[in-house]
Amino acid sequence: MDAYNKINVELGPNRYMIHVGQNLFQLLPHLVRTGPANSQIAIISVPPVSTLYLEKVRSEFDNSWQVYQLDIPDGEGSKSTIVLQEIYTWLIQNRLERNCTILSLGGGVVGDLAGYAAATYLRGVNLIHIPTSLLAQVDSSIGGKVGINHRLGKNLIGSFYQPRAVVTDITVIGTLAQEEFLCGVGEVIKYAVLNKNLFEYLEKNLNRLLIRDQSTLLQVIERCIKIKARIVGADEKEQGIRANLNLGHTFGHALEKYYKFKILKHGQAVLLGLYCTLHISQVLKQIKPDMVERIKNLLAQIPVTLPAGGKNFSPAKIVPLMQTDKKIRDGKINLILIQEIGRVIKYPLSDLKILLQSLESLKSL
């Protein structure tokens, strides 16, 4: 096995390690055994990922293990009560016990859904994430947010449930479709806006990241994980500083819902949300012009536009979707606005005209 690094997520009795490096699947049996686990392994994945990596994961478990595998439909639409019930039925029919271990093998959708199943089946079973998308490796597999969508909004039903470990093998990024890879880069840029050192690193090395240079990829993934691990360790349940990680997401979630979770991916929606956030930060004079230009220069290297070039795009229909967001307080939308690279603030916004203007600005991308 190649050398790898361990990053601690310090959460008291819920602490765990994120293992980051190359060719790490062989760690899995050891990681399962370190907890109060039996020999039952339930792998939940999606067809594109399971085709590539299921046998590699299964082969790490010898005949002393009972390994079960379930594929769920790919895409955001799977984060539903229907698919969740199918997972419960499968777990029950195979008599998975409380000390079993669920392995989520895939991107953010699999992690959220399998994680919520792990949190609620038999009131909680062991969970290990094996994130296979860049977005999941730098963000969604870290911090314990699990859940499903509701027809009225994204991630409105869920919980905080920490995994026993996360195995982040960067070699899988080599097989990621370009569109999915760029979605992950969108989330990386969010972290860069939150962290001056990462931003400056990307200004010099984004071109190497975009060609998936392994050393650059490892550097970026580790930096993002450390940023999130530090924030989650300080604020597990999002009562304070963890809200900063929602940068661009209030817009992004509403845009995903507007397009029915089909033709706009999460990372693309976050990128569009960053443009909206930057626009509002300017209008409200929260950010200096030179900072705006630096952020725009970085964003401009990642191609993103509204589906169908913005044809029939209606900001007036998106604002009500934002008003069902989890972060609404006293009727105001709590946006995370940018003051400078490395510094953001929570801003309760009630002026819907500014929201409309920022969404309209997306048509010019």
**What residues are labeled active site?**
123, 145, 187, 228, 238, 242, 246, 249, 253, 266
Q: Nearest 5°: phi and psi at 283?
A: -60, -40
**Residues 192, 298 contacting (CB under 8 angstroms):** yes
In order of 4, 94, 109, 132, the CA distances from 113 in angstroms are 28, 19, 6, 15
- 262-273 b/e (C-beta count within 10 Å ≥ 16 → b): eebbbbbbbbbb
Q: Name which of 141, 154, 140, 44 is nearest 100 in CA terms.
A: 44
E strand or H helix that includes residue 225: helix 214-234
What's the CA gap between 141 and 104, in Å, rounded? 9
Q: Taking phi first (over 0 means left), then psi (-120 to 50 degrees means alpha), and beta for anything else, what does residue 122 get?
A: left
What's the CA gap between 305 and 268, in Å, rounded? 8
What's the CA gap between 167 and 128, in Å, rounded? 8
Q: Name which of 61, 213, 227, 223 is nearest 130 in CA terms.
A: 61
**Residues 72, 62 contacting (CB under 8 angstroms):** no
What's the CA gap between 143 and 11, in Å, rounded? 10
Q: Which residues contact 95 (CB under 8 A, 6 or more apart)?
A: none
Task: Enumerate the β-bridge partners of residue 4.
Answer: 21
The DSSP code for 328 is E
Largest CA distance in the chain: 63
